[in-house]
Amino acid sequence: MTPNTPQLSRQQALDKCFSPSTLNGLELKNRLIKAGTFENMSPAGRPSAALREFHGRLADGGVAMTTIGYCAVAADGRLNENMLYMHDGLREELSELVAEIHRRGSKVSGQMGHCGGFSKNRELRARRPKGPSFTLNGLGFAHGMFFASAMTADDIDTMVQQYHQAAVFMKSVGFDALEIHFGHGYGLCQFISPKTNRRKDEYGGSLDNRMRLPLRVLAAVRDAVGSDFPILGKISMTEGVRGGIHYDEAVEISRMLDRAGIDAIVCSGGTSTMNPMIMFRGDNILPTLLASERNRLMKLVLKLAGKSMFRDYPYHDLYFLEQAKRIREAVDCQLVYIGGATSCDNFADLMAAGFDYIQLGRSLLSDPELPNRSARDAGFRSRCLHCNECVGTIESPQGIYCTRF
Ligand SMILES: Cc1cc2nc3c(=O)[nH]c(=O)nc-3n(C[C@H](O)[C@H](O)[C@H](O)COP(=O)(O)O)c2cc1C
């Protein structure tokens, strides 16, 4: 908690949760934001009617801002070919999507992503996906894409330029805010992580060097959207692997983003590449992934490596709270809590601890009406069971959904 944060009673904290607030000039009607959850509702890379309805229902349910999950900044920044990438060919559809969500009462953020060296995109234009260092590309095995190449200095400049262009485009189609993905093992996280970044040039080694590209990206996005447009950044406070980003370093990473002018930091954790369960907690997703995997090679890889990658982390509410509080103490920018916030008690605790916003993933998948319901009922608790079966639906033809309700 920042030193000047007043002690709030439960009622005052809940009042704060359901009262308006401003994020770099953007009026938000309450403190609840839909977390980016890749929807898989953009077949062949085009936003579908289902995507519009998915976010429209969230808007109807009272969320202050919804986030379009994983908007790749370039064609090769996609993990697979059914992801959106930001280019002028989508102008009309994306403008309509954003306008529809606005009509239904919610603001819209776009999560800017680049997969780096972690891809199974069959439409990849480069010979291989590219990350900070040459490595195995675990995701690409099924498609014969076994390796990722190390980016050259020119590749790095190109990536910065791609973020800039994507940000100009996204602002022009009506997004109210942008969220740069610095976490979860994707491209920028691969640079921040000492585990995946083994470069010997000025982009590798010390934290200053590993943050050079992420900070260049933040500066490029800021330059693209101007000083009065909200930019959030989602970080992994830990990768949950030896030699990776850890909680102490995350405090310093947050300070660097804060000093560089980010408006809000989303304090997540884990990586899709090495340790996803620390991000979710609860029921392990490995059995679902094994059951749905059609490719024999990938099935074998999952069988061999699955146990060490998909470790068990029991679920409890607010599982990132203690570590996120350390970041609250270290930075001046606004802070977004994420991870197991499911009840009015949780919302009150988070507001009292000095967080500005709360991002919700699975609980909003299980019930898009959650914000309206919790505003009416101070005893509200989400029905989400953290079974994590929704994570397994990420490749389903109809897109993600809650399998239980
Ligand atoms: C189906 C699904 C898809 C997800 N896709 C993304 C994504 O595209 N980008 C991202 O940053 N996080 C993604 N996440 C992680 C969530 O944003 C969030 O960090 C996580 O679910 C923990 O929050 P929760 O306890 O409120 O669900 C996804 C989560 C789920 C359940």
Distance (Å) of CA 118 to CA 51, 188, 247, 280, 326: 24, 11, 23, 20, 30
* CA–centroid distance, residue 268 to ligand 1 (Å): 9
Within 13 Å of residue 38, how many CA atoms lie on the same side as its CB? 25
Residue 3 domain-assigned (yes or no): no
Structure confidence at residue 1 (pLDDT): 44
Q: Using CA positions, which residue lies closest to atom 1 of ligand 1?
A: 391
**Total Cβ atoms within 10 A of residue 296:** 9
> Of all helices (H) and strands (E), which one includes residue 48?
none
Question: What atom of ligand 1 comes closest to residue 393's alpha carbon?
Answer: 1
Structure confidence at residue 314 (pLDDT): 97
Residue 338 domain-assigned (yes or no): yes
* CA–centroid distance, residue 152 to ligand 1 (Å): 31
Q: Using CA positions, which residue lies closest to atom 10 of ligand 1?
A: 36
Cβ of 35 less than 6 Å from ligand 1 = yes
Cβ of 70 less than 6 Å from ligand 1 = yes
- The DSSP-derived string for 231-283 is EEEEEES--SSTTS--HHHHHHHHHHHHHTT-SEEEEE--BTTTB-HHHH-BS
Pocket perturbation via mutation, ligand 1, pick of 38, 266, 283, 367 by most ligand atoms within 8 A of CB: 38
Residue 403 domain-assigned (yes or no): no
Provide Rg for the chain, Cα atoms: 20
Give me the tens of pLDDT residue by residue for the chain, a chain 405 residues long: 444 566 899 999 999 999 999 999 999 999 999 999 999 999 999 999 999 999 999 999 999 999 999 999 999 999 999 999 999 999 999 999 999 999 999 999 999 999 999 999 999 999 999 999 999 998 998 889 999 999 999 999 999 999 999 999 999 999 999 999 999 999 999 999 999 999 999 999 999 999 999 999 999 999 999 999 999 999 999 999 999 999 999 999 999 999 999 999 999 999 999 999 999 999 999 999 898 888 888 898 889 889 899 999 999 999 999 999 999 999 999 999 999 999 999 999 999 999 999 999 999 999 999 999 999 999 999 999 999 999 999 988 899 999 999
Structural domain range at position 319: 10-395
Residue 1 domain-assigned (yes or no): no
Cβ of 218 less than 6 Å from ligand 1 = no
- CATH number at 258 reads 3.20.20.70
Cross-strand bridge partners of residue 177: 109
Question: What atom of ligand 1 comes closest to residue 266's alpha carbon?
Answer: 19
337 is a catalytic site residue: no
Residue 303 domain-assigned (yes or no): yes
Strands 147-150 and 135-136: antiparallel
Structure confidence at residue 401 (pLDDT): 96
Identity of residue 366: S
* Domain count along the chain: 1
Q: Using CA positions, which residue lies closest to atom 11 of ligand 1?
A: 36
Pocket perturbation via mutation, ligand 1, pick of 37, 139, 365 by most ligand atoms within 8 A of CB: 37
d(CA 400, CA 404): 12
Output phi, psi for 331, to 5 deg: -125, 160
Q: Using CA positions, which residue lies closest to atom 14 of ligand 1?
A: 37
* CA–centroid distance, residue 85 to ligand 1 (Å): 19
Q: Using CA positions, which residue lies closest to atom 4 of ligand 1?
A: 37
- The DSSP-derived string for 96-161 is HHHHHHHHTT-EEEEEEE--TT----TT-SSSS-EESS-EE-GGGGGGT--EEEEPPHHHHHHHHH
Asked if residues 30 and 343 have their Cβ atoms less than 8 Å apart, the reply is no
31 DSSP 8-state letter = S
* CA–centroid distance, residue 401 to ligand 1 (Å): 12
Distance (Å) of CA 290 to CA 119, 169, 305: 19, 38, 12
Angle at Cα 265 formed by Cα 261 and Cα 271, nearest 5°?
Answer: 125
Q: Using CA positions, which residue lies closest to atom 5 of ligand 1?
A: 37
Nearest to 342 by CA among 358, 322, 327, 326: 358
Cα dihedral 259/332/109/113 (nearest 10)? 40
d(CA 357, CA 264): 9
Cβ of 113 less than 6 Å from ligand 1 = no
Structure confidence at residue 254 (pLDDT): 98
Catalytic residue among 70, 85, 163, 186: 186
Residue 386 domain-assigned (yes or no): yes
* CA–centroid distance, residue 221 to ligand 1 (Å): 23
d(CA 32, CA 181): 19
Collapsing DSSP states into helix, strand and coil, what is residue 325?
helix
Structure confidence at residue 384 (pLDDT): 97
Question: What atom of ligand 1 comes closest to residue 183's alpha carbon?
Answer: 11
Cross-strand bridge partners of residue 266: 234, 336
Residue 91 domain-assigned (yes or no): yes
Angle at Cα 22 formed by Cα 18 and Cα 28, nearest 5°?
Answer: 50
Question: What atom of ligand 1 comes closest to residue 181's alpha carbon?
Answer: 11
Residue 141 domain-assigned (yes or no): yes
d(CA 359, CA 374): 14
Cβ of 281 less than 6 Å from ligand 1 = no
